[in-house]
Homo-oligomer: A and B are copies of this chain.
């Protein structure tokens, strides 16, 4: 299993797939990849998923922008993935850790308003008794623009895409300060016909 060999760098990563529920899915994905600046992250794509790796700030900036720009096409679009830190398994993206912290897509992303629903689960890969303390650190009530609710095996967030990714980022960041190896799975969905009354 490749994810069994852990290194020591604090490089973050996200393995995700973007799903436009549309006959135009190829054009939407290619268009978004053209629109989003991914130059500050290492990136690898195949037929199942895309993996981006680098500084945490850029990993969240890029995944947020990819979803946001796909959703603003108006099509029903979803993204599922897993953020990870503390277990890279190799060093081929380490050079991206020298990038400056300024997120490249934030200014443009801030101009887009898009509602979405998201479910996420945080998995601190440590001792069992770390978990209570860790979950107490995640104070989602700080994210006043995001509606938080309980869901099976997950926590649900509803609100603007930027606020949702902000809450994901802060939750992940808080936990990774305490635990060396953390993963966070998420599914975010926009423009679902189930939401249109």
Contacts and interface: CB of A to CB of B under 8 A. Distances in A.
Interface string A3-27: 1100000000101010111110110
Interface string A141-157: 00000000011111110
Given A123-B125, A194-B46, A22 B19 contact: no
Interface residues of A, number: 62
Contacts of A154: 2-3, 15
Contacts of A153: 2-3, 13, 15, 51, 82, 84, 87, 89, 183
Contacts of A98: none
Number of identical protomers: 2
Given A48-B156, A49-B119, A185-B82, A76 B194 contact: no
Contact of A125 (B48, B128, B155, B188): B128
A78 to B, nearest CB: 6
Contact of A126 (B49, B51, B128, B189): B128
Nearest to A150: B2
Given A17-B80, A21-B19, A89-B152, A131 B185 contact: no
A138 to B, nearest CB: 7
